[in-house]
A and B are shown apart, each in its own frame.
Chain A
Amino acid sequence: MSDTHSPDTQNPEAQSLRAWLLTETPTSRRHAKLSALYHGWLSFRANTMAMIGLGILVALLFVALFAPLLAPHDPFEQNLGSRLLPLWTEGHVFGTDSLGRDILSRLIYGSRITLYIVALVALIAPLVGLLVGTVSGYVGGWVDTVLMRITDIFLAFPRLVLALAFVAALGAGIENAVIAISLTAWPPYARVARAETLTIRSSDYISAIKLQGAGAFRIITKHIWPLCISSLIVRVTLDMAGIILAAAGLGFLGLGAQPPSPEWGAMISEGRRFILDHWWVATVPGLAIFTVSLAFNLLGDGLRDVLDPKAGD
């Protein structure tokens, strides 16, 4: 947030920008868009917990972006002479792991992998779910039946077991783990999108656009998607914690990221062997996963308040 947006600024120029953004009578398309965004930002900013979540995620993004500058050591550099050093050791704030690698540096580089997983899953799963759900809900009939029974089949499997099967078939590795998680994560989104579509498709504004001769493709993409996307975004941020944990779980089972990759779940898996004598080796990456998961949950709660169309009206 920049100073110009602050309400208590005395600067008249900033005041007029604020008035311009808060106007009830926008003068152009861009103005109306910016004004709507600013209103959303104001109501989001009022939610302290959501702002904390956003702050943590911005910090994570910053750390991932500048990992080479921030990390005190090479995350892959082994030093068997200084293995399993405790917390707050000189030069190794979070200690070292069983091969003498600096845990802080590995955490910092691991944030890149976490963000990579999050970004890929967030791109694939909700999009597939949105497509399947809205088409199923809008078209109805046998298309609906077929798509929803496929969704049921995917939903009936425990997520991690299905992901394990996919990874076993595709081969271990972080990309395949992401694909496997995405393939198991889309059915709930499809369900949500279908339920929303069913209520939207019989509404008067859909009838009205049908009377202008609009086809199914236009109605689904331009009229139904914008109304489904907000609830999907909320769900994605709330599910993100589960997705990070699933990725970590696959890493823990040795089917996700492969050594020596500093993926957080794989780090816990390595530290498990020494958990009684050297608890920090597993605990520190565990705390990192916990913090990021919590941040996504807080952000999701805040976004739900802002994006819910019923609340907006």
Chain B
Amino acid sequence: MNMLEIKQLDVWFGHGHNRVDAVKGAEFSVPEGESFGLVGESGSGKSTILRAITGLAPEWSGGITVNGERLGKQRRKSFYKTVQMVFQDPYASLHPRHSVDQVLGETLALHGFRDIDARVVKLLDDVGLGQKFRFRYPHQLSGGQRQRVAIARALAPEPKLLLLDEPTSALDVSVQAEILNLLVDLRKDRGLTYLMVSHDLSVVGHMCDRLAAMRHGEIVEIMDVAALRGMQAQHAYSQELLQASV
């Protein structure tokens, strides 16, 4: 079964003369348990697809089906229990005045969990942060630690589909590998489905089973990772991408 199906998706910002079409006719599907990558240069509309799925980009048309349920303009509470997102910049995605405990506790409370204390401890262990980080504030954490907190927050409602918006591009190279390995392990343990946006082909090659190359808001080619590794892209633009990343 497909966890995510995107059909003829258009996303735009603004009206009339100011209208910018960020995504044009995107179409792909991600089976349950797969890790799917979206690659392309900046401004190609990869992140906008994620924002349209989560409802953060309100103006879109076409079809988005998550876990067999077709999405309308409004997102239901059950949607947020199925789909969660990890943002690009861990320095911007945590509230500066909320401790780790508050961030995770509030998320758990919003999803109606009762055993919040036990779950906060468990989540911190799952993402490789110990108990001692529980009552720290974001300014007392490093970038990698913050991203682990953000991942813990995304895992709190026990989602099936995780949207990853360049989760390591704001981090140091050494920390990037740690976070990517954590994500690989989490997917294995929990049977998660990933939709990952990145401009880094080596990251996508490490993390994903299939990928779509995007340019100017359009998907130019969908290929599997074996083709990526063998440098066997069909479309001229994806060949260009591959050449540039060598």
Contacts and interface: CB of A to CB of B under 8 A. Distances in A.
Contacts, number: 79
Given A204-B92, A207-B87, A212-B80, A31 B135 contact: yes
B80 A211 contact: yes
Interface stretch (B106-114, B198-206, B234-242): B106-114
A46 interface: no
A222 B56 CA distance: 20
A29 interface: yes
A25 B157 contact: no
A212 B79 CA distance: 9
Contacts of A209: 95, 106-107
B106 A222 contact: yes
B37 to A, nearest CB: 21
Contact of B95 (A25, A213, A223): A223
A206 to B, nearest CB: 8
User: How many of chain B's residues touch chain A, expressed as a range?
Assistant: 35 or more
B110 A213 contact: yes
Contacts of A210: 55-56
Contact of B87 (A26, A204, A309): A204
B97 A29 contact: no
Interface string B69-105: 0000001010010001101110011111111010000
A209 B85 CA distance: 11
Given A204-B87, A226-B97, A213 B135 contact: no
Interface in A236-259: none
Interface in B39-61: 54-56
Interface in A21-79: 24-29, 31-32, 36
Chain B interface, DSSP helix/strand/loop, else mixed:
loop
Contacts of B138: 313
Interface in A297-313: 309, 312-313
Given A27-B132, A205-B92, A208-B85, 15 more contacts: A26-B135, A29-B101, A31-B135, A204-B88, A204-B92, A205-B93, A208-B87, A209-B106, A210-B56, A212-B80, A212-B110, A213-B75, A213-B80, A309-B96, A313-B139
Interface of B: 54-56, 75, 77, 80, 84-85, 87-89, 92-99, 101, 106-107, 110-111, 132-133, 135-140, 150, 153, 156-157
Interface of A: 24-29, 31-32, 36, 203-205, 207-214, 222-223, 226-227, 309, 312-313
What 6 pairs across the A-B complex have the smallest Cβ distances? A32-B135, A26-B135, A204-B93, A25-B132, A204-B92, A213-B80
